Structure 1
Amino acid sequence: MFAGRKFAAFLFDMDGTVLNSIAAAERVWTTWAYRHGLDVASFLPTIHGRRARETIAALKLPGVDPIVEAEALLKAEAADLEGIVPIPGAAAFLKSLPLERWAIVTSAPRELALLRLQAAGIPVPAMMVSAEDVTRGKPAPDCFLLAAKRLGVEARDCLVFEDAPAGIAAGEASGAAVMVISATHVHAMQTSHASIASYDALGIATDDNGWIVIEPQRDAA
């Protein structure tokens, strides 16, 4: 898995990648979908990995303002943090990284992201790119390009950790390498990228310049 390759920084999506908020998010979106007469079963899979405003805009619902609806959804999601848990091994893995060498890159608004990180016991990064920071959300690469720029590195030298198709596409488009986190996947995802269900087997080493190498944990089962 990336044997011998060094990375300038790690860029992590949040929901489904370092924490699991699916139950909370789907409770809120289910209520919203019923109110707008949508087929909930087919709609819910489309909400993951993208900004709310873009998910809503894609529906082209008559008389529905995506910005207004996204703000209402933010308030509802901020009030429902029940059942949010870390992805196995994520908290310890993030704590092992140099602070200046990683970032959270999420489609969630900053307010919600901070609440969910706290609820899951995930360390807040020194740098985070959230929904408000870019004009175009995932699958556009803008968020990962911005995160790399803010860390003072090139995106092509980064490793992106993602779980959803939109985020994976954004990582690919940025030129970064991609690691797929499958912990919340109900069905196996066909991907050409390296994939893990837990961070427990991952360790890191850094070289004299601070670049990061992934190393398997020797005591991992």
Structure 2
Amino acid sequence: MTSEPARPGRKKYVLFDVDGTLIDAVSNQRRVWATWAERYGLDPDEVYQVALRTRPMETFAQIAADRDPHECLAALHELEDDDVRSGVYAAFGGAAELLHDLSPGSWALVTSNYEHRVRGRFQRTGLPMPDVIVDAAAVEEGKPSPVPYLQAAARLAAEPGDCLVIEDAPSGVRSGLRAGMTVWGVNAAVPVQGVHRHFASLREAAPHILAFASAPHGDPAA
């Protein structure tokens, strides 16, 4: 597929998801949920399969309806914070070079995680931080709502049509599409439904992302 060209005469922006897009955190997430499940006497694999598809409070409602959801969330946050301090993280190939090559003020992070964890992971993996981060605490509606990506665009003073979203997950792709943005998928063997372009890896996508961000205004190749 080809991307939608950005509007002529305007600056272009790139909005990145974090986990699964810039940082490989799958094993960390699985380990955190497994520890949480064992604490509540639940099957780790069953819990993780639900957690992959839903937000935490929805996960608790499905697999631990007899438990206090706020207690469940506090336990999960404790485990996630500990993982940021002690877990092993790796950035996807090409991530550091890509982010360093983008112009300051032209990109942002849009994550369902929390900013302090993102900062901890970026510090440990050597990734640069942007000026704008939209995290779970910044919005009342998370992905697949368009709200997170629309808030990032507003904070960058960007029009949605001038933004490129880089995502790996269906909920994030839907969020970007609903926000009226161009959406490219990365780090998946099969394209997520709806993406304008698909790349098997972030490294493969990197030169195309830079071309989108730096191409002359109105260039269809962008």
For each residue in 1:107-159, what CA deviation from the matched residue of structure 2 results, as whole angstroms up to 9, or x when unmatched? 00111111112222211111100110000111111110100000001223211
Whether contact under 8 Å (1:9, 1:212) holds in the other structure is no
- C-alpha displacement at 1:5, in angstroms? 2.8
- C-alpha displacement at 1:93, in angstroms? 0.6
AA in 2 matched with 1:21:
A
AA in 2 matched with 1:154:
E
Q: Select 1:94's aligned residue among 72, 90, 99.
A: 99
The answer as to 2:122 corresponding to 1:117 is yes
Q: Distance in 2 between matches of 1:98 and 1:49?
A: 34
1:151/1:57 CA distance change after superposition, 3 Å: farther
| TM-score (norm. length: structure 2) | 0.81
Q: Select 1:69's aligned residue among 38, 61, 72.
A: 72
AA in 1 matched with 2:40:
H
AA in 2 matched with 1:5:
P
- C-alpha displacement at 1:198, in angstroms? 2.8
After alignment, is 70-79 or 155-164 more displaced? Answer: 70-79
Match of 2:5 in 1: 5
Match of 2:165 in 1: 160
- Unaligned runs of 5+ residues in structure 2 are none
- C-alpha displacement at 1:48, in angstroms? 4.2
AA in 2 matched with 1:191:
Q
Q: Distance in 2 between matches of 1:212 and 1:49?
A: 37
After alignment, is 42-51 or 18-27 more displaced? Answer: 42-51
- Unaligned runs of 5+ residues in structure 1 are 216-221
Q: Select 1:140's aligned residue among 130, 138, 145.
A: 145
- C-alpha displacement at 1:2, in angstroms? 4.4
Alignment of structure 1 residues 165-184 onto 2, 5 Å: 165-182=170-187
1:181/1:208 CA distance change after superposition, 3 Å: closer
Whether contact under 8 Å (1:158, 1:177) holds in the other structure is yes
- C-alpha displacement at 1:161, in angstroms? 0.8
Higher strand share: 1
Higher helix share: 2
Q: Distance in 2 between matches of 1:54 and 1:125?
A: 30
Identity of aligned residues (%): 32
Q: Distance in 2 between matches of 1:213 and 1:151?
A: 23
- C-alpha displacement at 1:13, in angstroms? 0.6
Q: Distance in 1 between matches of 2:90 and 2:4?
A: 32
After alignment, is 123-132 or 50-59 more displaced? Answer: 50-59
Match of 1:17 in 2: 21
- C-alpha displacement at 1:59, in angstroms? 4.4
AA in 2 matched with 1:17:
T
Whether contact under 8 Å (1:50, 1:137) holds in the other structure is no
1:49/1:21 CA distance change after superposition, 3 Å: farther
Provide the aligned length of Structure 1 versus Structure 2: 210
For each residue in 1:145-184, what CA deviation from the matched residue of structure 2 results, as whole angstroms up to 9, or x when unmatched? 10000000122321111111211111111111111112xx
| TM-score (norm. length: structure 1) | 0.82
Q: Distance in 2 between matches of 1:212 and 1:124?
A: 28
